[in-house]
Structure 1
Amino acid sequence: MESCRLHLRAMLLLVAFLYPAFVQSLVRHYKFSVVFKNTTKLCSSKPTITVNGKFPGPTLYAREDDTVIVRVINHVNHNLTIHWHGVKQLGTVWADGPAYITQCPIQPGQNFIYNFTFTGQRGTLLWHAHTSWLRATLHGAIVILPKRGTPYPFPTPDEEKTVILAEWWKSDVEAVVNQSVQSGLPPNVSDAHTINGHAGPVPGCSSPGGYTLHVESGKTYLLRIINAALNDDLFFKIAGHNLTVVEVDASYTKPFQTDTIFISPGQTTNAILTANQGIGKYLIAASPFMDAPVGFDNLTSIASLRYKGTPANPKAFLTSIPPQNATPVTNTFMNALRSLNSKQYPANVPLTIDHSLFFTIAVGVNPCATCVNGSKLVAAFNNVSFVMPTIALLQAYYYNKKGVYTLDFPANPPIPFNYTGNSTANMQTTNGTRLYRLGYNSTVQIVLQGTAIIAPESHPTHLHGFNFFVVGKGIGNFDPKKDPKTFNLVDPIERNTISVPTGGWTAIRFRADNPGIWFLHCHLEVHTTWGLKMAFLVENGKGPNETLRPPPADLPTC
């Protein structure tokens, strides 16, 4: 992985002078120049939108409680924003990045400075564009090391490696999504999956080869695995090797061993690899998971693990990949995840709930006079397909602009029905920019209920601004009397993105202790495009530390 150079400016001395308690932390400066670049390692010479000419983009390195300042300069002909996925943005909601939610986009020829602190966070996260489908090639890793002198809660590895999984289209992804929107039909699926920017052997393409992970016998490696794909859940395997999972979404876990990682778009997984096999070359596979009859990229991306001392052109050790519909494999992996819940890293699960919400997830059909079949596919929470405003919601809220949104998002489905059965429910949704209001420091439980309308499938759901605890999940319809009795309120896994199973439900809990407007959406970009998104307005508390701060002076305008 390529990373950008750190630049420590004189500003560091100023911060240390003004805030003595901040002396041990650093200010990390980055410059993101968004440009077109011809790529050759992906069987295509088409110009690709990249950050600093790299795909994947540069890695942000920092330590817990460091401040990061990133100047993003837009040199392409698309509006764009950057989202720091999983960063809690405590007091810095203006830096969160989703277009038309917390900011207007950075227009061509313009720039914007993102300024935020990794407060109380350490681990692996990712950054990506949050405008239309630009994150297909605009993405990279965030590596937050523990504070100096603070060890990992597991044996320190000899080395660390970042592994970014993604998707690749041979055509312009913006053209792909625009054609889909105009036709009302599903977009074309990607042409390949990638591992650290390499697709490996791809049918109909003379690929120059895949990514190689170099290791030495007897050493241990912390693999920071990121799924930056737009629309595909993925399995990750290394032939002949087990992996010990120690962290997901920058939250430590109770370690457990597995031969297969399951990872959804937006999720990260840290796992220890022990190089304990014979000298040789071992294949690495990133293959798709889909347990529903819908279109998806079914190609497996191949890389290789190569031991030091392996002769040239060795025979590769092969690995078996899970079937594409291997739901038992996904369940086994997710059920094994538990928070570390130690004295130093406790699992502070809300035990009492102020807001008990029930959100159905559905794909529907709405009329469309200009579309091919006179209709278009839409998606919705609680039958509300989200309409993006033309001004950022956070700006509208801060400056009290009327008519941009309403605060009447339904806490429950408007009409209860048999969600996972053969429902005759109306497939047409309502449209609106509707938010749900939360009082500062209130506790929230959301049951995310999948449905069988049109396209039942797994939905990786991401909440901005907060981590949440996954207290329960199941197949079928959620039973509000029986299912809560099975909730894990002791050591549930803590995440920022969770997969809602096909034909099932997932229950999450969090505390709304950060004022601002925060996005909740499916991290399958196709469903987000169709409207599977909503937002929470978290009100101010008391005092300056619990109050929304003014916007930065260079905040883009719409």
Structure 2
Amino acid sequence: MVSAWYKGNLKEEVDEALEAGSDLPHSDAYTINGEPGDFCACSKETTYHRTVDYNKTYLLRIINAVMNAELFFAVAQHNLTVVGMDGRYVKPLATSYIMISPGQTMDVLITTNQSLGRYYMAARQYSSEDASVTAFDHVNATAILQYESNYSFPSSPSFPTTLPFYLDYIAALNFTNRIRSLASYEYPVNVPLNITTKMYVTVSMNTIFCPTCSGGVDDEILGTSLNNISWVNPSTDVLQAYYRNISGIYTTDFPDQPPSYYNFTGDEFPDSIELTVQGTKVKVLNYNEAVEIVFQGTNVLTGSVNHPMHMHGYSFYVVGAGFGNFNNEIDPKLYNLVDPPEVTTFGVPKNGWVAIRFVANNPGVFFSSL
């Protein structure tokens, strides 16, 4: 498990950031199975070790438990084979590294066929923000893969030279573009083809007018939005309000399209685009409706990053992704409807889009969160 470590009280820091409308706190170190590893003095004596036998194949179940950061992961001098994501089989993907999003899980095979010794398993952040943004966790978390036998250890384990650097979006893209469902006779895919509901949803960083907020600038604080609506937690749970027919808790007018169209991935925007409105708006779907959602990243506030997208209560097929603005005439012709990955978490590319499909066959109230 790859997770994050904070010096302070994380809940208090998050609550303060939300109250002030500022950026969420950044971790002070990443950890593998609870330890930052050899490169942090506080952890050098307690770095996680995994002893292995020579020439055996092991299954690593890797979980990204970090709050808001994608991570690269690699093992020195060893190849990896990804065979599963989010509890679903994928076509075996041979690679020297992986990129894993927050909340995502991967099943990875590793064969211990290298020289007897010790090898670092290492993780570092993939930062998709602008290159000028450097205020993120730069710690390289490490654990040690150690071969079982009688031999003299080298002075230090070898570090994976294949671990991409922080800003390597090409490496991230090359990895995610290769992911495919197994799509075999035993494990078929069932991609919805006759779509009854289509949604085009913009994903943005915005500002919210809040003259009473302590951390605001010019009476504005940071916010995020989908189709220019920033979610407000209701006083009563939405499912409870629906079940008990309580009015005034939420509205059912979440839009299928953004309120206005512009160059979503451009560099300049009207001031009016930066402000978002708040609301508790939901989208109501009929049972067994076949749904396609295109999530469109935007560069509002120069805030375009790789957004991990998670849907509660459902898995979904990722049928397409690309850079720039989604083209409704051209891009659907390039959808993968044969073996798209079926996942519960996937990234909306920086300055790009991702298209997903699913069948609404799990009644309830569920969040789609980014």
Does the TM-score normalized on the shorter chain lie above 0.5? yes
Tell me the equivalent position of 1:323: 165
Q: 1:85-96 maps to which residues of 2 (within 5 A)?
A: none
- State the SS of the aligned residue for 2:94: strand
- State the SS of the aligned residue for 1:518: coil
Question: Per-residue displacement from partner, 1:206-226 (whole Å, max 9, x unpaired)?
Answer: 643311121100111011111
1:272 Cα deviation after fit: 0.8
| Structure 1: 4+ residue segments shifted above 4 A | 310-313
1:188 aligns with 2:35: no
- State the SS of the aligned residue for 1:416: coil
Question: Per-residue displacement from partner, 1:93-150 (whole Å, max 9, x unpaired)?
Answer: xxxxxxxxxxxxxxxxxxxxxxxxxxxxxxxxxxxxxxxxxxxxxxxxxxxxxxxxxx
Equivalent-residue separation in structure 1 for 2:241 and 2:199 (angstroms): 25
Equivalent-residue separation in structure 2 for 1:318 and 1:509 (angstroms): 40
- Residue 430 of structure 1 is aligned with which of 277, 280, 295? 277
Tell me the equivalent position of 1:338: 180
Equivalent-residue separation in structure 2 for 1:392 and 1:208 (angstroms): 46
Does the CA contact (< 8 Å) of 2:191 and 2:358 recur in 1? Answer: yes
- Residue 334 of structure 2 is aligned with which of 470, 483, 486? 486
Question: Per-residue displacement from partner, 1:458-517 (whole Å, max 9, x unpaired)?
Answer: 100000111100000000000000000100001001100010110000000000011111
1:500 aligns with 2:348: yes
Equivalent-residue separation in structure 2 for 1:330 and 1:246 (angstroms): 18
1:247 Cα deviation after fit: 0.6
Tell me the equivalent position of 1:298: 138
- Residue 214 of structure 2 is aligned with which of 360, 366, 371? 371
Equivalent-residue separation in structure 2 for 1:262 and 1:341 (angstroms): 22
Equivalent-residue separation in structure 2 for 1:182 and 1:207 (angstroms): 37
- State the SS of the aligned residue for 1:448: strand
- Residue 448 of structure 1 is aligned with which of 273, 285, 295? 295
Which residue identity does 1:424 align to in structure 2?
F
1:367 Cα deviation after fit: 2.1
Percent pairwise identity = 42
Tell me the equivalent position of 1:262: 99
- State the SS of the aligned residue for 2:300: coil
- State the SS of the aligned residue for 1:516: coil
Range moving further from structure 2, 316-325 or 470-479? 316-325
Equivalent-residue separation in structure 1 for 2:230 and 2:223 (angstroms): 7
Does the CA contact (< 8 Å) of 2:36 and 2:43 recur in 1? Answer: no
1:319 Cα deviation after fit: 1.4
- Mind listing any 5+ residue stretches in structure 1 that lack a counterpart? 1-163, 523-558
TM-score (ref. length: structure 2): 0.94
1:200 aligns with 2:29: no
1:281 aligns with 2:118: yes
Equivalent-residue separation in structure 1 for 2:43 and 2:122 (angstroms): 19
Tell me the equivalent position of 1:360: 202
Question: Per-residue displacement from partner, 1:190-213 (whole Å, max 9, x unpaired)?
Answer: 000010111113556464331112
- Residue 467 of structure 1 is aligned with which of 309, 315, 318? 315
Does the CA contact (< 8 Å) of 2:35 and 2:43 recur in 1? Answer: no
Bigger relative contact order, structure 1 or 2 (CA pairs below 8 A, ≥6 apart): 2
Question: Per-residue displacement from partner, 1:239-292 (whole Å, max 9, x unpaired)?
Answer: 010011111111101112001011000111101110101110001101100121
Which residue identity does 1:318 align to in structure 2?
F
Tell me the equivalent position of 1:240: 77
Equivalent-residue separation in structure 2 for 1:204 and 1:379 (angstroms): 37
Which residue identity does 2:294 align to in structure 1?
V
Equivalent-residue separation in structure 1 for 2:14 and 2:319 (angstroms): 35
Which residue identity does 2:207 align to in structure 1?
V
- Residue 63 of structure 2 is aligned with which of 211, 223, 226? 226
